[in-house]
Structure 1
């Protein structure tokens, strides 16, 4: 039951974040989010739209749900605009994805996914990481990691592997692409700052 509701909520939040705002005010944006949640129950070939999407992306990690919820609250103007701490979130979960998924694809002899079934060392590491991020006042990362850990302890997902609460391919891919775009923008600005003094000298 929880997985089904998670699929409907994920469907609504993903589309809400992907679609443009269309210049709508706060009330109409909230109405759009509710309408997308209602649309997730529309049947298609015997499956609801949410279940159809779930068949392609599987159940998302708890961290992804928290991250998307944060994005939705920002678009609804409930939370302030993103600050610099978001980059740490991108780096953290991109690093998790790069550690986990190449190994699961057979590109490494190590198998970090197996640690998720007996996750005491992993739980301790994540707890220390959460404390460090709390010290750095990165509230988003703290809430994401703490929510994933509490959900794992409560066993709210069908999976018994801690990794499935921490990271999923969609979140990992998003963080990697977002970091690549940030690095490209930084490199472009750096090149422009190098070119501007040269242009002034030529004049």
Structure 2
């Protein structure tokens, strides 16, 4: 029952986050959130829209739900956008988790870290150390993502018994790796542009 409720939240928040930039008015955005929440429970052939989406994506990780909730509050003006430096760190943490887990899942290596998730005490200690570092860096979103995933695993609010399924999912992995790559390309392009501009100014002053 809890898993189905989380699926409804994931559907409503994802649709809202995607559509909200098209609407400028805060009141209309509130109406959009209500509409997406209502749409998630509308039933077709005995299944809700959220259930159909869940059948395609499986259950999202708890950390993904935290991101969606964070973005929803941001679209509603409750939270401010993250600083770029903190966004870099958050993306890097979850990209490393993805690159640790998914090469084996795709059959690219014989090393299987997924089995760690069934007896995850060492993993939880590592995640706690990472979270402590993120607290010192004041990266609230990444801390909440890791803490919420760990607490959810402790209380087993999802059907899965594997800690990895609470920490990360394929969609979050793709988004983090893609966003990190995009930020990296923009950073390199910006530095190259600044270098060319500096070289041009130096040549003009000669």
- TM-score band by shorter chain is over 0.9
Residues 98, 173 of structure 2: 8 Å contact kept:
yes
Distance 1:197-1:16 versus aligned 2 partners, 3 A rule: same
- Tell me the distance in 1 between the aligned counterparts of 2:152 and 2:38: 26
The alpha-carbon deviation at position 98 of structure 1 amounts to: 0.8
Find the counterpart in structure 1 of residue 3 from structure 2.
Answer: 3
Between stretches 77-86 and 31-40, larger displacement belongs to 77-86
- Tell me the distance in 1 between the aligned counterparts of 2:145 and 2:20: 25
Find the counterpart in structure 2 of residue 191 from structure 1.
Answer: 192
TM-score, normalised by the number of residues in structure 2: 0.93
Unmatched segments (≥5 aa) in structure 2: none
Residues 20, 29 of structure 2: 8 Å contact kept:
no
Residues 20, 75 of structure 2: 8 Å contact kept:
no
TM-score, normalised by the number of residues in structure 1: 0.94
CA RMSD of aligned residues (A): 1.5
- Tell me the distance in 2 between the aligned counterparts of 1:138 and 1:49: 34
1:65 has 2:65 as partner:
yes
Q: Deviations over 1:5-62 (max 9, x none)?
A: 1111101111111124234322221210111010112234442211111111100000
- 1:35-46 alignment, distance < 5 Å: 35-46=35-46
Find the counterpart in structure 1 of residue 112 from structure 2.
Answer: 111
Q: Secondary structure at the match of 2:115?
A: helix
Find the counterpart in structure 2 of residue 156 from structure 1.
Answer: 157
- Tell me the distance in 2 between the aligned counterparts of 1:202 and 1:136: 42
Find the counterpart in structure 1 of residue 34 from structure 2.
Answer: 34
- 1:19-98 alignment, distance < 5 Å: 19-83=19-83, 84-98=85-99
Between stretches 34-43 and 142-151, larger displacement belongs to 34-43
Unmatched segments (≥5 aa) in structure 1: none
- Tell me the distance in 1 between the aligned counterparts of 2:102 and 2:126: 19
Q: Deviations over 1:99-126 (max 9, x none)?
A: 1011111111111000000111111111
The structure 1 segments of at least 4 consecutive aligned residues displaced by more than 6 Å after TM superposition are none
Find the counterpart in structure 2 of residue 132 from structure 1.
Answer: 133
